C-alpha cells in the first residue's frame, strides 16, 4: 500500500491507541510484520507549548519505520505548527484524529467533534497540508449517527484538501467500542474516493481481515485492540493473504513477546517508568493462557527489570516453556 510517496510494505496497519501504542509496543508489531505503525494520539497544544511528556511521545527508532504520528486539536494554526514539529522529528506520515469520542477531547472540539463541524475540519486540513510535505492522513468514525453521511462528507472534503489516505472506523461517536462496526460505511467511502481507504473495526483474526478486504474493497486493514498483547496477528494476516494457514500463537511466542516488551520498555522509557507499566501491561500477553490469574497477581508490585524477568521466568517454567526460559 502506498500513502503519498510512502510505501508501507504491506497492507496491515497498527491503529493509534491512546496510552498503548508507544515505541516498545510499536516495535513488537513491526517485528511481527506490521506494515505501518502509528503513534498514540498526541496533543497539538502539548507539542507547540513544548510539554516534555508530550514531546517524548515523538521518540522513534529506524526499526519501526515507516511511522505515522497522530495529532489532535481544534486550532488550525496550532495544528499546523504541531505538524511541522512532527515532520521535523522524522515522522513519515502525519495523521489527524477525527475519531476520538472521549469527553475531554470532545470538550476541546477535537476528535469526533470535528466530524460535525465541516468548516473547522476543512480549515484544519488546509492549514496542516500547507505546513508539511510528508503524506497527510485522517482517521474518522461513521459520524454522530449510523448513516455514515458525515463519514462520506468528511472523507470527500479530506480528499479535496490534499489528504493522502483515510482510515475509517465505522462506529458512531456515541458507540465508543460497543456494538458492531458497520463495514458497509468503509465500502461506501472506498467507492467515493480515489485515495487509499484503510478499514478499521472488528478485525480480531486473520479471517476477519480477509473478509473486510473482500466485503469493502479497502486498500489496507487497521488492527487495534486485537493486537494488544498479540501483535502476532499481523503475521497471521500476512500468512492468510499468501494463502497459508495462520498458525496459532504458541506459549513460547507469548513469553518471548513479554521479554522483548520489558527489555524495550526499559531501554526507551527508563527502568522506573517501565516497571510501573509492566504491573498492568504484562497481563495483556497472557490472556487465555494457563495459570494466567496467578501470573497477574504476581506482577502487581514489579519494581525493576530484574524482578519482571524473574516473574516471567517462573511463569514460563510453570507452563512448561523451557526453551524460552533458557533464552534470556
In this structure, how many other beta carbons lie within 10 angstroms of the beta carbon of residue 157? 17
Backbone angles phi, psi at 170, to 5 degrees: -80, 60
Other C-beta atoms closer than 10 Å to the C-beta of 288 total: 9
Q: Is 315 helix (H, G, I), strand (E, B) or coil?
A: helix
Distance CA 182, CA 202 (A): 9
- Residue 174 and residue 145 in contact, taking contact as beta carbons nearer than 8 Å: no
Catalytic annotation on 100?
yes
Distance separating alpha carbons of residues 230 and 221, to the nearest angstrom: 16
Report the SS3 class of residue 47: helix
Concatenated DSSP letters for 272-310? HHHHHHHHHHGGGGGTTSTTHHHHHHHTTT--SHHHHHH
Q: Which of 34, 38, 100, 218 is catalytic?
A: 100
Nine-digit cell string for 240: 492468510
Task: List active site positions.
Answer: 100
Amino acid at each position: 500500500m502506498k500513502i503519498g510517496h510512502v510505501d508501507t510494505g504491506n497492507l496491515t496497519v497498527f491503529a493509534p491507541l491512546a496510552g498503548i501504542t508507544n515505541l516498545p509496543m510499536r516495535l513488537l508489531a513491526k517485528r511481527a510484520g506490521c506494515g505501518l505503525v502509528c503513534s498514540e494520539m498526541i496533543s497539538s497544544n502539548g507539542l507547540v507549548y513544548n510539554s516534555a511528556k508530550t514531546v517524548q511521545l515523538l521518540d522513534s527508532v529506524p526499526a519501526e519505520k515507516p511511522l505515522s504520528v497522530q495529532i489532535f486539536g481544534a486550532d488550525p494554526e496550532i495544528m499546523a505548527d504541531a505538524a511541522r514539529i512532527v515532520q521535523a522529528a522524522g515522522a513519515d506520515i502525519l495523521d489527524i484524529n477525527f475519531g476520538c469520542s472521549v469527553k475531554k477531547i470532545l470538550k476541546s472540539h477535537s476528535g469526533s467533534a470535528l466530524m460535525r463541524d465541516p468548516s473547522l475540519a476543512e480549515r484544519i486540513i488546509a492549514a496542516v497540508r500547507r505546513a508539511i510535505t510528508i503524506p497527510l492522513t485522517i482517521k474518522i468514525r461513521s459520524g454522530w449517527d449510523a448513516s455514515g453521511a458525515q463519514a462520506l462528507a468528511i472523507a470527500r472534503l479530506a480528499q479535496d484538501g490534499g489528504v493522502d489516505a483515510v482510515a475509517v472506523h465505522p462506529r458512531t461517536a456515541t458507540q465508543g467500542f460497543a456494538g458492531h462496526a458497520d463495514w458497509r460505511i468503509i465500502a461506501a467511502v472506498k467507492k467515493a474516493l480515489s485515495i487509499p481507504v484503510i478499514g478499521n473495526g472488528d478485525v480480531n483474526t486473520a479471517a476477519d481481515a480477509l473478509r473486510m478486504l473482500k466485503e469493502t474493497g479497502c486498500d489496507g486493514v487497521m488492527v487495534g485492540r486485537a493486537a494488544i498483547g498479540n501483535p502476532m496477528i499481523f503475521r497471521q494476516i500476512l500468512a492468510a493473504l499468501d494463502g497459508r494457514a495462520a498458525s496459532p500463537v504458541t506459549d513460547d511466542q507469548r513469553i518471548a513477546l513479554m521479554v522483548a516488551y520489558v527489555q524495550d520498555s526499559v531501554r526507551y522509557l527508563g527502568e522506573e517508568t517501565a516497571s510501573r507499566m509492566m504491573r498492568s501491561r504484562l497481563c495483556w500477553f497472557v490472556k487465555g493462557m494457563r495459570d494466567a490469574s496467578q501470573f497477574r497477581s504476581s506482577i502487581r508490585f514489579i519494581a525493576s527489570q530484574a524482578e519482571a524477568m524473574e516473574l516471567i521466568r517462573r511463569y514460563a517454567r510453570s507452563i512448561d516453556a523451557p526453551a524460552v526460559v533458557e533464552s534470556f
